[in-house]
């Protein structure tokens, strides 16, 4: 009985890890057909993780922990109130979403 319980807990933990929050963001971004100013699709599967911190707001835009500054004009409204950075396979930013109240 104990080994079954352990296996069940391990299976649940793996399921919880696979169903990460970033997939939920990809869902509303993909579903909305959102694109950047250049016309590129914002995301593919797993390209748009939510930031686990709040960017610093500066006069130039949003300062991310990686040193990148996202101009306010390039930020799109985030319907779930999170900060989300979509990236290309090479890691460069494709789209950025911020809560509307932070503009």
- Segments making up each domain of the chain, as ranges: 21-102
Q: Which residues contact 101 (CB under 8 A, 6 or more apart)?
A: none
Q: Which residues contact 102 (CB under 8 A, 6 or more apart)?
A: 57, 62
Of 22-26, 44-48, 64-68, the range with the highest mean pLDDT is 64-68
Q: Is the pTM of this model over 0.85?
A: no
Distances (CA, A) of 9 to 1, 6, 35: 13, 5, 40
Type and span of the H or E element at 56: strand 56-57
Q: Is the pLDDT of residue 65 over 80?
A: yes
């Amino acid at each position: 009985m104990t080994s079954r319980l352990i296996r069940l807990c391990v299976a649940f933990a793996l399921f919880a890890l696979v169903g990460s929050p970033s997939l939920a963001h990809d869902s509303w971004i993909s579903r909305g057909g959102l694109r950047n100013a250049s016309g590129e699709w914002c995301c593919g599967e797993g390209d748009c993780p939510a930031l686990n911190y709040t960017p610093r707001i500066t006069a130039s835009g949003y300062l991310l922990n990686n040193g990148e500054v996202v101009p306010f004009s390039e930020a799109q409204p985030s319907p779930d109130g999170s900060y989300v950075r979509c990236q290309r396979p090479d890691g460069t930013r494709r789209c950025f979403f911020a809560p509307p109240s932070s503009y």
